[in-house]
Structure 1
Amino acid sequence: MNILVIGNGFDLAHGLPTRYQEFLEFMANYDWHIIRGSNTPIIVLDKDNYDKLYKDYFINLSPELKTEYTQLIENNSWLEHFIIRLRENLRNKVNWIDFEAEIADVIQEMDNIRKKLLNNEEITNDKKTESIETDYEIIKKISQPLKYGLSLNGNSYSLQRVSTIKNELIKDLNKLIRCLELYLTDYIDYYIDHFMDHNKDTKIEPFKSTRFDHVLNFNYTNTYIKLYAPHLSGKFENGFCNYIHGRAKKENKIEDCDLVLGIGEYLKGDEKNNDNEYIEFKKFYQRIYKGTGSAYTRWLNKELIDYNEHDPEKRIHTYIYGHSLATTDADIIANLIRKSDKTTIYYYRKSDLHDIILNLVKIIGEEELIKRTSAENQSIIFNPNP
């Protein structure tokens, strides 16, 4: 049985602008042009094609979609934070941003502030405050309303203000995720129609020549189904493809959106089970809460499938393409590797292979990685992208 695991590198290999920085460029300039009325772009990744990529799309948006975009983007604290970070990166000649890492930094800073308050014996109720320094403007700018038109802001924190900040960050993250869903459906469809060569065969190896029994999709898009298995679209799609981080659908409302965008577990020991203050930001919680499913675990259950370790056709061979094997997905990756008889991992550049090996050490441990890559017992194979 062949299982294909795909990450964002799969969509990028097929020419789609699905990087976080491309989505952020789109959002930032919608905010700047449509909401604020400025003619000067705030973020430009592709100077030669900027107007072509966005101008006509913004102009021709339906009133309904323009209203929804505006409600999702306007005064969104995460958008403002990501813009600041990406502009800092661009000044340092780094044209990318990692949303998940940025979210993790902010949430752990919030948790540190909360724990300082809890450890202060003088903080006995929500009215007591403590001055705590932080460099994160996204935290400092969210204030806690008080009586008589006053508010608690800056570096002055109470437990009530920390709770208010958390709730605002959850609300704005959900708006950001819904905006991402619209970008990956409506705008990406527009991009495909207007900028991609429809006479060119965009299919690539190993997907053209290998028959896959299942696809574990870490992307929000259905690019694989569209290109390689259109006959499975619809009622057969769910059994074939597990959208482990949700599937983007334009027709959704914000409350229906099931896209997962969050962080890995950062707590240790008993604290991991006993302290759930920021659980809403964690990927494992979002997958459960949003019901993205764990169908892939059935594919790996050797008691439920036609498995025979002596028959190559009935052994489990997992192919991983376009996924960095980041530790935020460690639980899923470890399960796949340990249940598979063979795992082939594709990489784009040698530097990517370096990062993949580092991540695998964190996920399955150094000894297990050495054992699985040794010539005698090799079950993990690294191949450059075809």
Structure 2
Amino acid sequence: MNRLILIGNGFDLAHGLKTSYKDFMEFYLIKVFMMLVQNNYQYEDPLITIASKNNSRPIVAEYRKFESGIAYLNYLRKECSKLFDIKISLFLHSSHHNVLERNWVDIEMTYFHCLCTHIRDGKVDRDNVSILNRQLAYLKNELEAYLTAVETYQPIDQPDPDLLDIFLQPLFRKDFSAAEKTGDEIQFLNSFGLSQEQGTAGYNLIANFNYTQTLEPYLEAIQKNGLKNYRINYIHGKLKSRENPLIFGFGDEYNKVYSEFEEHNENSIFEHVKSFKYFQTNNNKNLLRFVSSDLFQVVILGHSCGLSDRTMLKAIFESENCRSIKIFHHKHSEDSNDYHEKTI
């Protein structure tokens, strides 16, 4: 019996790293406003263009008085239309709106929804699809620069003891109640080397959906505890790595709209589909080989299990070899956690 540990952004957040898409959007917008001041109150990138009217300069410096760059952009758009020409892309507008209304944003799913708006009535708006693709490519580069800075200025040198215990704990029989009902009870019990109540996983694969190296101290600590059967798969790439570049896009090929994409003879629609990016390395192939090789338990640690990774998660969760899914949830307060949300 093997174990597959899925690591998501919540793992980095638990270490105090500001790696959420909301944090990144805040960083990006503050950078925009700072460059706006430095460049004589003119700014342009693939996502937004801002130009002052009538030398309306003093008001720009006021962004420091707002609680966030996101709030300040909202102020500029609503209150300063006579002072500034602001052209904001649908992509950035949708991301900004999600942060304001829901206090979070999934940039990859936002990209997918924007892509859908450019495919209507059986036709593909090639020009706007190309523009949108350039916008996501630009944002991916900005994200890599941001995460590199976060990792540089706040390196994680020591593992959190409580989180380390999760990696070190054995397989527990109680987590496999569903497996015993499938007729595989004998095979299940034989997979345990210690007792009928708990046992050691034959092989542990950590599928890291993050780009950072927060896991490296954990792997070192695990090995110091005498466990050698652990390996990390940076499934979506690593920061500053040419051999394992960042994969950033949408991965929900089971969406009914995606099936309509395949009816079009237009490659640009698939520019940022994760499944095609997986061919750049052996990461996905190695993960699928692990899933098909033997029975396994899935442990979810900090992963939201959202639709932006639906294709890969479906292959894992619906595999005949998947016999247990163990969720470690985030506790918001004494009376609130995200366990129910994760199960959904």
Shorter chain as denominator, the TM-score bin is: 0.5 to 0.7
| Structure 1 counterpart of 2:104 | 96
Could you say what secondary structure the match of 1:343 adopts? strand
Aligned pairs for 1:1-386 within 5 A: 1-37=2-38, 38-41=60-63, 44-45=67-68, 81=90, 83-85=92-94, 87-89=96-98, 91-92=100-101, 94-112=102-120, 115=121, 118=123, 162-190=125-153, 192=154, 202-205=160-163, 206-207=165-166, 209-210=168-169, 213-229=204-220, 240-249=231-240, 257-265=245-253, 266-267=255-256, 271=260, 273-275=262-264, 277=266, 278-289=269-280, 292-302=283-293, 315-337=295-317, 338=319, 339-349=321-331, 352-358=338-344
| Structure 2 counterpart of 1:363 | none
| 8 A Cα contact 2:17 2:150, kept in partner | no
| Structure 2 counterpart of 1:121 | none
- The one-letter code matched in structure 1 to 2:329 is Y
Could you say what secondary structure the match of 1:341 adopts? strand
> Structure 1 residues 36, 81: CA separation in 2 closer, same or farther (over 3 Å shift)?
farther
Distance in 2 between residues matched to 1:325 and 1:84, nearest whole Å: 25
Q: Which moved more, 1:209-218 or 1:100-109?
A: 209-218
Using CA pairs below 8 Å that are at least 6 residues apart, which structure has the higher relative contact order? Answer: 2
Distance in 2 between residues matched to 1:260 and 1:89, nearest whole Å: 19
| Structure 2 counterpart of 1:50 | none
> Structure 1 residues 186, 248: CA separation in 2 closer, same or farther (over 3 Å shift)?
same
| 8 A Cα contact 2:8 2:304, kept in partner | yes
Distance in 2 between residues matched to 1:292 and 1:179, nearest whole Å: 24
Distance in 2 between residues matched to 1:269 and 1:259, nearest whole Å: 19
Gaps of 5+ in 1: 48-76, 119-158, 233-238, 308-314, 359-386
Distance in 1 between residues matched to 2:22 and 2:325, nearest whole Å: 30
Distance in 2 between residues matched to 1:41 and 1:257, nearest whole Å: 35
> Structure 1 residues 89, 107: CA separation in 2 closer, same or farther (over 3 Å shift)?
closer
Distance in 2 between residues matched to 1:13 and 1:184, nearest whole Å: 15
Aligned residues: 258
Taking structure 1 as the reference length, the TM-score comes to: 0.57
Deviation at 1:269, TM superposition (A): 9.0
1:301-330 CA deviation, whole Å, 9 max, x = no partner?
A: 33xxxx5xxxxxxx5222111112123322
> Structure 1 residues 81, 290: CA separation in 2 closer, same or farther (over 3 Å shift)?
farther
Taking structure 2 as the reference length, the TM-score comes to: 0.63
- The one-letter code matched in structure 2 to 1:348 is H
Could you say what secondary structure the match of 1:295 adopts? helix
Deviation at 1:44, TM superposition (A): 4.3
Deviation at 1:287, TM superposition (A): 2.5
| 8 A Cα contact 1:86 1:95, kept in partner | no
Give the share of equivalent positions with the same residue, in percent. 23
Deviation at 1:111, TM superposition (A): 0.9
Deviation at 1:36, TM superposition (A): 4.2
Moved runs in structure 1, 4+ residues, more than 6 A?
none
Distance in 2 between residues matched to 1:243 and 1:228, nearest whole Å: 13
Deviation at 1:109, TM superposition (A): 0.7
> Structure 1 residues 287, 40: CA separation in 2 closer, same or farther (over 3 Å shift)?
farther
